[in-house]
Amino acid sequence: MIPGLKREFMKKAFASEGLFEMKAESIIATVAEHFHFTIEDVKKKGRKREYVMARKMCAHLLREHTKLSLKRIGKLLGGQDHTTAIHAIHSLNDLCFSDPTIYMELATIEKKINS
């Protein structure tokens, strides 16, 4: 390997990871604002239905809009592991097919993120 090439690659990788982290915080803040919660409410481990739905939407949006790993997404959302993040994403996808109001709510948040 060419000397210095690995170092340059690592610098770029960590720089992009920082950008994904900033984007992730922005997505979490947008979801929290939509539900009229604080960011801490969305990130805490409570099982209150409203918080759970917000975390599911965050997990889905983080997976769609960032290149963060499932493990990292879980850590951002209350210190969960990757299987919890996978379950949240699959669960929200199922809910979107069965409940049009949840789908519309997700679409509304996605519009806020993309604008």
| pLDDT computed for residue 38 by the predictor | 94
With b meaning 16 or more CB within 10 Å and e meaning fewer, what string describes 3-22?
A: eeeeeeeeeeeeeeeeebee
Q: Residue 82's domain spans which residues?
A: 5-114
Domain count, the chain: 1
CA separation for the pair 55, 28 (Å, rounded): 8
Do residues 79 and 45 make contact, with C-beta atoms less than 8 angstroms apart?
yes
Q: Give, in degrees to the nearest 5, the angle at Cα 115 between 75 and 52.
A: 35
pTM exceeding the 0.85 threshold for the entire prediction: no
> What averages of pLDDT result for each successive group of 10 residues across the chain (115 residues)?
54 56 90 95 87 95 92 91 93 94 95 90
- Cα 14 to chain center, whole Å? 19
| pLDDT computed for residue 4 by the predictor | 55
Give me the CATH number covering residue 53.
1.10.1750.10
Do residues 19 and 13 make contact, with C-beta atoms less than 8 angstroms apart?
no
| pLDDT computed for residue 11 by the predictor | 52
| pLDDT computed for residue 63 by the predictor | 94
